[in-house]
């Protein structure tokens, strides 16, 4: 029976090519729009290498505030002292990493270069939190970090640019004006991994200039924090422990007090646009963006519904004739739903392909960084496609099912005349 329905559905697509094309493209557009919106949010929130543990991560990037007497206030990041006293002493998290980054030139011994690269200065815990794919070598060690030994990790593209291959472990490079040795090579990281991205990863103990840039009784500085919890259920306990360590740290200061405002925030918070200065609640995010999103999703869907209902209404005479030859209500209803399902499936496949083509083209304004490289593990999420397909299938079922049910229940004489 299903095979027969499928043949009939294919014949109807050929006979009503314009309506079928409009229906398929309408479904494809709806699914593509859903997929693009979901993929953008997913890139900002879902886990992928090297940030494979995003669901267990907490962040303190901006939102560090130091207040002193005489209305003096510092807003920015924290110092190495604040990192040591407030975060390295934490017991609840699995790992705590402090880091900062900025662009700097790289050169080879005896060969001056002027290209700027993103340098990530971090600590050994950074490699416990983030899951980098090492092609050669290994990360710098605790001993390298403590003794400020200039060993650095470089990305695959940097290794190939400087030396023409990834077999560069043990070879020298010049970071700014400091001779360093390459200890590892990792697979290139997308800019979508915003707290781990870099071209070069070095111990922050190498950068004494940044370590010395402190303000407000040594509380303000350049550092950001990433925390890895054993389980996301530990988030509240970690926040309470941070408050305790902050209060203890503040009691040792004479005039200034540090606070972290809305920090730490989760990856889901960041995806909704939250920061250390302002945390956006889920209901506020849905209210701000839900109306526009709903409009974008429903406009093509409603247009599709009108076309589908019109096509079904034109088939009243056909349905009446089939009823006259003994077709039951269930058979008529099932056939129409089968035809609609085929249209939805075809439109869904086209919509999926269209969304994967649109996202790279539109990423300049959809993503924060236009240079973000999109990898397969960011984009291929079958669950989102299935949800989008079910959404369109539901709309199409409603647009077909209601008039199909009414036609199947209509007396044969009225159906043959095409009466409403």
Digit-coded pLDDT (tens) for 254-281: 889 999 999 999 999 998 889 999 998 8
C-alpha radius of gyration, the chain, whole number: 30
Query: What are the structure tokens assigned to 171, written together?
Result: 């070879």
CA angle (336, 340, 343) in 5-degree steps: 145
pLDDT for 397: 65
The answer, yes or no, to whether residue 73 has pLDDT greater than 70, is yes
Strands (E), 69-177: 72-78, 95-107, 116-122, 134-137, 151-155, 172-175
pLDDT for 365: 44
CA angle (246, 251, 252) in 5-degree steps: 105
pLDDT for 353: 75
> Could you tell me which of 86, 62, 64 has the C-alpha nearest to residue 260?
64
CA distance 232 to 228: 9
The answer, yes or no, to whether residue 225 has pLDDT greater than 50, is yes
Mean predicted confidence (pLDDT) in 64-90: 93
> Could you tell me which of 210, 12, 19, 25 has the C-alpha nearest to residue 99?
210
| Least reliable range by pLDDT among 25-34, 92-101, 208-217, 374-383 | 374-383
Region of residue 185 (left: phi > 0; alpha: psi -120 to 50; beta: else): beta
Q: Which of 113-117, 156-160, 386-390 is predicted most confidently?
A: 156-160
The answer, yes or no, to whether residue 227 has pLDDT greater than 90, is yes
For 361, residues 6+ apart whose C-beta sits below 8 A from its C-beta are none
What's the pTM value of the predicted model, to 2 decimals? 0.74
CA distance 410 to 419: 9
141 pLDDT tier (thresholds 50, 70, 90): very high
CA distance 363 to 376: 15
Q: Is the Cβ–Cβ distance between 52 and 62 less than 8 Å?
A: no
The answer, yes or no, to whether residue 375 has pLDDT greater than 90, is no
pLDDT for 362: 58
pLDDT for 413: 60
CA distance 31 to 379: 15
The answer, yes or no, to whether residue 318 has pLDDT greater than 80, is no
Name residue 224's beta-bridge partners: 99
Mean predicted confidence (pLDDT) in 382-401: 65
Name the pairing type of β-strands 172-175 and 178-186: antiparallel
Mean predicted confidence (pLDDT) in 129-149: 96
Alpha helices (H) in 46-172, listed in sequence order = 80-86, 126-129, 142-146, 156-163
């Amino acid at each position: 029976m299903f095979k027969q329905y499928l043949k009939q559905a294919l014949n109807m697509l050929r006979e009503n090519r314009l309506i079928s094309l409009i229906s398929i493209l309408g479904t494809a557009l709806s699914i593509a729009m859903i997929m693009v919106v979901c993929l953008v949010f997913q890139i900002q929130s879902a886990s992928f290498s090297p940030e494979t543990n995003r669901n267990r991560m907490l962040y303190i990037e901006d939102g560090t505030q130091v207040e002193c007497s005489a209305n003096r206030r510092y807003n920015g990041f924290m110092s190495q002292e604040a990192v040591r006293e407030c975060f390295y002493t934490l017991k609840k998290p699995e790992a705590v990493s402090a880091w900062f980054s900025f662009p700097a030139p790289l050169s080879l011994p005896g060969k001056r270069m002027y290209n700027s690269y993103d340098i990530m200065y971090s600590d050994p815990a950074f490699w416990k939190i983030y899951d980098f794919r090492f092609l050669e070598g290994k990360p710098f060690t605790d001993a390298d970090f403590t003794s400020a030994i200039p060993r650095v990790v470089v990305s695959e593209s940097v290794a190939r640019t400087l030396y023409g291959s990834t077999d560069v472990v043990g070879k020298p490079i010049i970071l700014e004006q400091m001779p360093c040795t390459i200890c590892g090579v990792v697979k290139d990281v997308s800019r979508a991994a915003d707290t781990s991205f870099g071209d070069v990863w070095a111990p922050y103990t190498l950068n004494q200039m940044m370590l010395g840039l402190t303000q407000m009784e040594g509380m303000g500085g350049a550092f950001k924090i990433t925390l890895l919890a054993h389980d996301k259920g530990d988030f509240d306990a970690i926040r309470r422990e941070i408050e305790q360590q902050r209060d203890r740290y503040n009691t040792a200061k004479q005039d200034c007090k540090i606070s972290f405002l809305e920090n730490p925030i989760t990856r889901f918070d960041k995806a909704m646009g939250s920061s250390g200065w302002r945390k956006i609640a889920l209901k506020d995010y849905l209210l701000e963006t839900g109306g526009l999103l709903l409009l974008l999703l429903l406009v093509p869907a409603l247009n599709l519904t009108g076309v589908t209902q019109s096509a079904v209404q034109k088939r009243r005479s056909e349905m009446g004739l089939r009823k006259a030859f003994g077709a039951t209500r269930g058979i008529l209803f099932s056939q129409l739903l089968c035809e609609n399902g085929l249209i939805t499936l075809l439109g869904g496949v086209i919509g999926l392909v269209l969304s994967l083509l649109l996202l790279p083209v539109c990423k300049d304004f959809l993503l924060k960084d236009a240079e973000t490289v999109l990898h397969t593990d960011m984009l291929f999420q079958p669950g989102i496609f299935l949800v989008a397909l079910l959404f369109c299938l539901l709309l199409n079922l409603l647009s077909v099912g209601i008039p199909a049910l009414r036609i199947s229940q209509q007396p044969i004489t009225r159906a043959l005349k095409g009466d409403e």
